[in-house]
Structure 1
Amino acid sequence: MTDQDRYGLNLSTASSVAAEAYRDGIDLLLSAWTGAAEAFDRSIAADPEFALSHIARARIHTFYQQGDIARKKAALARELVARNGSERERSHVETLALAVEGRIPAALASALTHIEVWPRDAVVMSLPLGAFGLFAFSGMADHDQARVDLCERFAQHYGEDWWFLTYHGWSLTENGAVARGRAITERALAMRRANANAVHALLHAMFEDGSLADADALVTQWLPSYERTGILHGHIAWHQALGALEHGDASRALAIYADVLKPTVTSAPPINAISDEASLLWRLAAYGHAVPEDLWAEADAFAQKCFPKSSIPFADVHMALFAAATRNHAALEARLAVIEQRLAEGKLAAGPVVPQICRAVGAFAERDYPACVRHLEPVLDDVVRIGGSHAQREIIEDTFIVALMRGGEPARARGLLDRRLLRRPSPRDRSWLAAAIA
């Protein structure tokens, strides 16, 4: 009898041990749980010719920016699947290999073509989804809607599957259907508590609907069950720090940073680590709280090792925060020069919003608030193009609002705050609104 994955797709391995370890690894991968890499390693040990375990292992290497070994494993997977794999597995490997190689447009096109034929290939289906998925990093302005459309088109193929519900719910939340998204995500978490992706998605829903107490309680109750090496451990704690900042509790936010997020303690993948560190420290400073210079210096040194060159816009924007906060004008100008060259060559899918954000945060750090406003105002509607989640991108709008208030334009800040408070209750926004009115 042919082994299958949990979605009923055949696996080209003669080893039941390899198949079982692969199934375990995929569930751990789809739930952002610890042990996925080890499961794929067990599968490879049981059947070194099984291509799907090699390409899955390569994907985990990419999370941690282990590019050389990831590409080697992708190349091996291509070779193995060409000899031993089915048509579905060859397409699966090729799609993931393109993603491993950072070829985002090609990987996205391949993924969308693949799931038309094999809609229950959850690993390929997962690639366009999420805040760091292929849609989010495509430069599209409507990637939130694209994720909803994708999920709703293929929902009939998944039913009450805990992984699919997690991402369907989160996609709805990010696209503004927060109540429906939260309800679906809560169903997913009830089905599998060992699902960091569901907790993460639920925290986003709670951020959007203003349920700060619910979010704080969820993190406090759930996080101890998740190992600190879990891929989302630090980011889930980051959400709790955001809640603390909503109430003006800088001491608690800094304590969370010191315990979980700072470079010497984090086990997060580089993109998670540097974005969480930069955005939390920037928020603290922008909201008027003191941030020790050594925290910025330590985090910046770590980030420079992770992203020494311009890469995806989401990373570049956070690297700009580091450069601006540490007054490293040379680093900011050097990164800007590369970004603008890519823009001029038509190689920056996200467009002018990327260099404009970089210029704006540089101006903000120099307290040139009118210049910050001038740089950001024309591109505010395009910030979505950098990818990430709404909660992560809100830092740019926050910077704009603070620049308006400090630059002598409280009436314009009031208008933005009024609209945000209609969308979600926020103690911080209410306090800012009161200050703007005063």
Structure 2
Amino acid sequence: MKTDRHAHVLSGTGDEAARHYERALDALLFFRGEVADEAQAMVAASPDSAMAHVFGAYLGLLGTEEKEAAEARQSFSTFRRSLDLAGLSPREKMHTAAAEAWLDGDMLRAGEILGEVSSEFPRDALALAVGHQIDFFTGDAQRLRDRIGGALSAWDDDDPHFGPLLGMYAFGLEEAGHYGRAEEVGLRAVERHPRDVWGIHAVVHTYEMRGLFGDGIRYLDARTPDWAEGNYLSVHNAWHYALYALEAGSVERVLGVYDNTLHNEQSQAVAMELLDASALLWRLLLADIEVETRWAELAGAWAGRQDGAHYAFNDVHAVMAYAGAGRLSDAERLVKHREQWLDRSSPAVSNHAMTREIGIPVCRALIAYRQQQYGRVVELLAPIRYRLNSFGGSHAQRDAIQRTLVEAAIRSGRHDLARTLLSERINLRPICPYNWRARARLDDRLGDASRAAAARARAEEQAAAGAAAWG
């Protein structure tokens, strides 16, 4: 009976298909583009292999693309009708159940099943990698940390997959607030595999969350050949670079990253890349920085996708683009469609709660912000600000929404709330020019000129220290 490199049974899988499985798994762990071709080759070599079809189903879901998920659902359903579960190993049965659950829309249940796989088979790298992404998509920082941490002791340090697992663990540690430990583990991962872009990404997050954007600039600049091309994460890591540049006050560099990497004529209108573009332009909008035709082009890319209800996190970023471009009727239409979808969809679908509890209120807040209805923005966002994680993304990604609340509180005259929000932010992240600039604007409105000047000077001092990374 054929097994993978960690002695897990691969039922109905021949030697050639097993080789494709290992190559596909390696590509998945390092975010390389050949993962899709290798997964398809595995199915072609062994059409009756359950793990080949499971792998393909996961790939159809990991991109958070509605159309790809629908295609994966149809393909897997066809295979499932002819599958005899009795001939599968316990691990394969659990993977099959996890794939089915996610294809049916129950992402949370899929994550739970994969957690069971990892408990019984802790060296199943596929279960760990897919489960890790589910934890990310659902914003579960504790599971993002502990799913990987709970399996690491079963791995040998010299295992080829141990490095990328460290990269995953580093990201989980960072999202759970263990920034120093996350940086240490992430650097270990990248030392093992310099092109471990998820490990690089984890290190970058630790700098973002501590306000060490000068260190982040230097780190990404030094490793540019390792992350900037040939992988699925190059755009997202470039987005992080742009965030550093924004904190350093270099709008020219921010727009250069946007135009060269985040969104241009060669962009493929992939949801995960478009949302990075939206999130960056929205931060510029919050700062009242004009971006000329970029909003219109980005909104057109989102509109061309014609997405249905699939993942609320994507919907929010589509609405950012529509609102930024002044296409408020399109933004309203998307929200209305999602409200109608809620009436006919099952609460068992994970996106149902994400959309109802977080997605729609945030979308409506973004529209209200563009209409300068700042009090309405506060009414919508303040009640959910501690629950934003439940519709996915990272702390860094969700900060665009948190900043929207800060700006709305200042501009609506909700000075007590604005002071509270900024006190929270400054005490959590004292090195952050945005926080001090916002504090200065609040003090201006409160008539405290000396305090405003001190906050503004603090912001400029921090920005200059970060900009020094460019020499």
TM-score (norm 2): 0.83
Q: How does 1:188-267 map to 2 (within 5 A)?
A: 188-226=189-227, 228=229, 230-262=231-263, 264-267=265-268
Paired residue type of 2:284: L
Query: Does structure 1 retain, via aligned residues, the 8 Å contact 2:197–2:226?
Result: no
SS of 1:202's equivalent?
helix
Query: Does structure 1 retain, via aligned residues, the 8 Å contact 2:32–2:230?
Result: no
Q: Pick the aligned partner of 1:71 from 70, 73, 76.
A: 73
Residue aligning to 1:311? 310
CA pair 421-8 structure 1, distance change in 2 beyond 3 A: farther
Paired residue type of 1:252: R
Residue aligning to 2:469? none
Q: Determine the C-alpha separation between the residues in 2 that align with 1:230 and 1:266.
A: 14
Q: Determine the C-alpha separation between the residues in 2 that align with 1:177 and 1:19.
A: 38
Query: Does structure 2 retain, via aligned residues, the 8 Å contact 1:13–1:47?
Result: yes
Q: Residue deviations 1:166-202, cap 9 Å, x none? A: 2222111101111112211211121122211111122
SS of 1:408's equivalent?
coil
Query: Does structure 2 retain, via aligned residues, the 8 Å contact 1:81–1:89?
Result: no
Instruction: Give ranges in structure 2 of 5+ residues lacking alignment.
Output: 444-451, 453-471
Q: Determine the C-alpha separation between the residues in 2 that align with 1:148 and 1:37.
A: 27
Does residue 110 of structure 2 align to residue 107 of structure 1?
yes
CA pair 90-206 structure 1, distance change in 2 beyond 3 A: same
Does residue 365 of structure 2 align to residue 365 of structure 1?
no
Deviation at 1:146, TM superposition (A): 2.8
SS of 2:387's equivalent?
helix
Paired residue type of 2:408: A
Residue aligning to 2:390? 385
Deviation at 1:153, TM superposition (A): 3.0
Q: Residue deviations 1:208-253, cap 9 Å, x none? A: 1222122222322333334745211111101101111112221111
Paired residue type of 1:334: R
CA pair 349-68 structure 1, distance change in 2 beyond 3 A: closer
Residue aligning to 1:271? 271
Deviation at 1:322, TM superposition (A): 2.0
Q: Residue deviations 1:37-88, cap 9 Å, x none? A: 2222343444343332333234334425423442344235534574864332
Does residue 99 of structure 2 align to residue 96 of structure 1?
yes
Aligned residues: 429
**Mean CA deviation greater in 173-182 or 226-235:** 226-235
Instruction: Give ranges in structure 1 of 5+ residues lacking alignment.
Output: none
SS of 1:319's equivalent?
helix
Q: Determine the C-alpha separation between the residues in 2 that align with 1:307 and 1:165.
A: 37
Q: Determine the C-alpha separation between the residues in 2 that align with 1:51 and 1:18.
A: 11
Residue aligning to 1:290? 290
Q: Determine the C-alpha separation between the residues in 1 that align with 2:166 and 2:213.
A: 23
Residue aligning to 1:301? 300
Residue aligning to 1:167? 168
Q: Pick the aligned partner of 1:158 from 155, 159, 183.
A: 155
Percent identical across equivalent pairs? 26
TM-score (norm 1): 0.88
Query: Does structure 1 retain, via aligned residues, the 8 Å contact 2:186–2:202?
Result: yes
CA pair 48-352 structure 1, distance change in 2 beyond 3 A: closer
Query: Does structure 2 retain, via aligned residues, the 8 Å contact 1:271–1:315?
Result: yes
Deviation at 1:94, TM superposition (A): 3.3
Does residue 152 of structure 2 align to residue 147 of structure 1?
no
Query: Does structure 2 retain, via aligned residues, the 8 Å contact 1:296–1:326?
Result: yes
Residue aligning to 2:7? 8
Query: Does structure 1 retain, via aligned residues, the 8 Å contact 2:33–2:231?
Result: yes
Does residue 73 of structure 2 align to residue 86 of structure 1?
no
